[in-house]
Structure 1
C-alpha cells in the first residue's frame, strides 16, 4: 500500500493534542517575537519579545512554562520560519531543553496572513499567530537532527560555492585584462588560465617587456617556474606577437598592479578550493554508505557531497520521493473543473540539492551505461523529451540513493535495466 501525502498530513495534525501549547516565533536578527495558542487556535497569554541570546532564551522558556501551568497544558511545540541562519541557535537550544521544534514554509506564512483578520496588514505579532495556526493545522515539518559529518559537508560545500564564484570572477577579469593589454597571447596559449599562460603573465606582464628579450631567456624563465615548459618555437612566436600587439600602451603601471592582484586572488582561490575539496574527501570517508554510492560510475565526490550536505543522512528518508520533495523536484498541478493546467516541477525545496541532483544525473547519463540506456529508451522508445527524461532519471537517482543508504547494499546495475530489456 502506497503512503500518500494526505496520510502524512493527517499524522501531523493528530500529533497536536488538547494538551499542547502551540507557540509561533517570528525570527529576526536581534529580537524574536512569540505568541501561543491552544490546539483549537484560541490565543493563550500575551505576546513576548525576547533577545537572541541566552538570557532571552531563558525568558522565553520561563514564559512557556507559565502559560503551560496557567492553562493546565503539559506539552509544547514551537514553530518558526527557517529565516536565513537566525533560527538555528534558538532551534538547537530548545531541542536541548527537550522541546519539540518544527519549521513552517515562509511562502505559506505569507499566503495565510489574512486568515486571522482578513486584511493584508503584516506585523511580527500577527506573523507569530499565523505560524502557530499553521502548526496546529499540521502545516509543519520537524527539524531533522543532522549528524556531524553531514553538517560538515553542508558547511564545506557552501564554502566551496563561495570560493568557486571568486575563482570564476578572477578568471573572467584575467580574460578581460588580456583582451585589453595583450590580446595576441591567446594565439600562443588558447586557455588564459592554463599553466603556460599564467606563468607568462607572472613573468612578462606586458608586451613591451617581451619585445627586448631573447627566446632563450624566455624559455629559461619558464623553466624556473614550470616543470614542463613551452619550447623555443612558442618563445619566438610570443616575441613576434608582442612586437605587433594592438594592446593598450597607456597606464601600463596601473594595469601591471591590477594583474598582480588578480593573480594573487586566483592563487588564493585555487589553494582554498584544493583544501576544501580535500576536506570533503576526508569527511566522505567517515560516512558508511558513501563508498557504495561512489562506486556507481559517474558519481563524483563533489556531487555526492553536495547531495549529502543538503539532504543529510539519506537513510532517514522513508522513500526516494521524500528526497525529491525535500529538493522541490516533486510535481505540481493546477486544475479546475474541465480546465487542466500544466504539470510543472514545484521548486519548493532546497535549490542547492536540486542543482546537485541534476548535475549528478547529467553525469550519469553521460558516463554510466545503465543510465545512458535508460535515457535512450525514454527518448527513442517512449518518445519522451530529453529534459523530461532527465527529470525522470533524477527521481530514479533519488530512489537509488535512498535504497542503498537504507538497506546498506551495493549498487546492482541489472536492477536499472529498462523493463523491455528485463523481459527479454
Structure 2
C-alpha cells in the first residue's frame, strides 16, 4: 500500500526501526562488540567508522563482565565518547546476562544475528577464517551499519511463557521421535499390526492392543492361543494408560488377526518388540510431561489475563494461542 508521501508501509516500518536503533546507537557512543564464549570473552571497542579503539580478552563467565564494561566506558571517554553501546550475538542465554549488565551500567544494548556475522565475515576479507578477535570486529562493524536489532526485554510472566514454550517444543520433538521409532520397528518385525488401523499411532485402541503385546514379552503365538475375548479384555484394561474409555472392536480384531500373520523379519521380532515397548513407555512419559507443561502455559495466560482474549478467536485453541505467544511475545 502506497501512502500520499510516496512511502510504502514497509518503508515506514523500516524507518521506524532505524529511528529506534538510532536512539541507542548514537554518534556519541562508542561500540563495544563482544564475541561471547563459555569461559573466554573477546571484546573490541570501535568507533562508527570501524576503527578499533581498544581490545580486551577476559577469561570469565558472561555474567561477570562488569569489569569489561567499566573498562570500555573509561576507554571510550579517553576517545571523546560520552557513553558506550554494547552488542553481541544472541548466543544461548549468555547474552541476557550481558544485557542486564549493560542496562545496569546505563549503556545501550543490541544484538546481531549470527547469520549476518557469518556472511559479513566472508565479505570482510573473502575468506571463511573464523577467529574470536575477527568476529568481535565484524560484530562492531555490523552495529555501526545498524545491521542489528533491539532485543526483547521480557517481563517475568512473558519470560516464563517463553521458557515453557521452548520446553514444550522439545517435548513435541521427543514425542514425534517416539512415534516414528515405533512405526519403524513394527514395519520391520510386525508390519501386519500397522494395517489394523488407518492411523495406528493416533488410535488409543490400537495403542492399548500394542501394550498388551509388549507387556507379555511379544509372545504373539501365546496371545493368539488365548483367544480374541482374552485379548480384547486385556486391551480394554489398558485403555486408561492412554486417557481413553472405549475400545474399538474392529481395531482389536485387526490386531488379533495380525498375531497369526505377523510378516516382517522373524529374527528381529523379539528384540524389536521389546524395544518398541520401551519406546512406548518413553512416549507415554513424554506425553505426561507435555500435558504438564501445557497446563503451566495456560496458567501463565490466566495470570496475564489473556485467556478470555485468545478463546474469543475462532479456530484457535487456548494451547495453540499459548504456543504462538511463547514464540512471538507480546503481540502489541
Aligning the two structures, in what range does the TM-score lie when normalised by the shorter sequence?
0.7 to 0.9
**Residue 236 to residue 256, structure 1, CA distance change in 2 (3 Å):** closer
> Displacement of 1:36 after TM fit?
0.9
Matched residues in 1 for 2:255 and 2:132: separation? 65
Is 1:200 aligned with 2:213? no
The aligned residue for residue 26 of structure 1 is 35
Which residue, out of 92, 113, 116, partners 1:108?
A: 116
> Displacement of 1:161 after TM fit?
1.8
Aligned residues: 312
**Residue 246 to residue 123, structure 1, CA distance change in 2 (3 Å):** closer
Is 1:215 aligned with 2:238? no
> Displacement of 1:39 after TM fit?
4.2
> Displacement of 1:57 after TM fit?
1.0
Matched residues in 2 for 1:134 and 1:187: separation? 57
**Residue 65 to residue 201, structure 1, CA distance change in 2 (3 Å):** same
Is 1:267 aligned with 2:276? no
**Residue 174 to residue 122, structure 1, CA distance change in 2 (3 Å):** closer
Matched residues in 2 for 1:36 and 1:288: separation? 44
**Residue 184 to residue 4, structure 1, CA distance change in 2 (3 Å):** closer
Matches within 5 A, 1:328-339: none
The aligned residue for residue 297 of structure 1 is 314
Matched residues in 1 for 2:21 and 2:255: separation? 70
Matched residues in 2 for 1:39 and 1:236: separation? 75
Contact 2:25-2:108 at 8 Å conserved across structures: no
RMSD (CA atoms): 3.0
Contact 1:13-1:137 at 8 Å conserved across structures: no
Give secondary structure in 1 for the equivalent of 2:266. Answer: coil
Is 1:147 aligned with 2:165? no
Matched residues in 2 for 1:115 and 1:254: separation? 54
Give secondary structure in 1 for the equivalent of 2:147. Answer: coil
> Displacement of 1:249 after TM fit?
3.3
> Displacement of 1:199 after TM fit?
1.7
The aligned residue for residue 353 of structure 1 is none
> Displacement of 1:48 after TM fit?
0.7
Deviation string 1:152-199 (CA, Å, 9 cap, x unpaired) is: 222222222221122112112222233333333245443322222222
Matched residues in 1 for 2:261 and 2:25: separation? 79
Contact 1:79-1:132 at 8 Å conserved across structures: yes
Contact 1:23-1:36 at 8 Å conserved across structures: yes
Matched residues in 2 for 1:235 and 1:160: separation? 32
Gaps in structure 2 of 5+ consecutive residues: 240-244
Gaps in structure 1 of 5+ consecutive residues: 316-424
Which residue, out of 33, 44, 48, partners 2:53?
A: 44
Matched residues in 1 for 2:251 and 2:69: separation? 73
> Displacement of 1:228 after TM fit?
2.4
Matched residues in 1 for 2:114 and 2:326: separation? 22
**Residue 267 to residue 112, structure 1, CA distance change in 2 (3 Å):** closer
**Residue 187 to residue 74, structure 1, CA distance change in 2 (3 Å):** closer
The aligned residue for residue 144 of structure 2 is 136
Matched residues in 2 for 1:253 and 1:71: separation? 74
The aligned residue for residue 229 of structure 1 is 247
Deviation string 1:45-68 (CA, Å, 9 cap, x unpaired) is: 3x1112342785133123123314
Matched residues in 2 for 1:304 and 1:31: separation? 40
> Displacement of 1:310 after TM fit?
2.5
Higher relative contact order by CA 8 Å / sep ≥ 6: 1 or 2?
A: 2
Is 1:62 aligned with 2:42? no
Matches within 5 A, 1:2-21: 3-6=12-15, 8-9=17-18, 12-13=21-22, 16-21=25-30
Contact 2:185-2:273 at 8 Å conserved across structures: no
Is 1:244 aligned with 2:261? yes
Matched residues in 2 for 1:178 and 1:113: separation? 48
Give secondary structure in 1 for the equivalent of 2:152. Answer: coil
Matched residues in 2 for 1:250 and 1:66: separation? 73
Matched residues in 2 for 1:222 and 1:209: separation? 15
Deviation string 1:180-238 (CA, Å, 9 cap, x unpaired) is: 3333324544332222222222222442222211233223323432332345x766665
Matched residues in 1 for 2:317 and 2:22: separation? 40
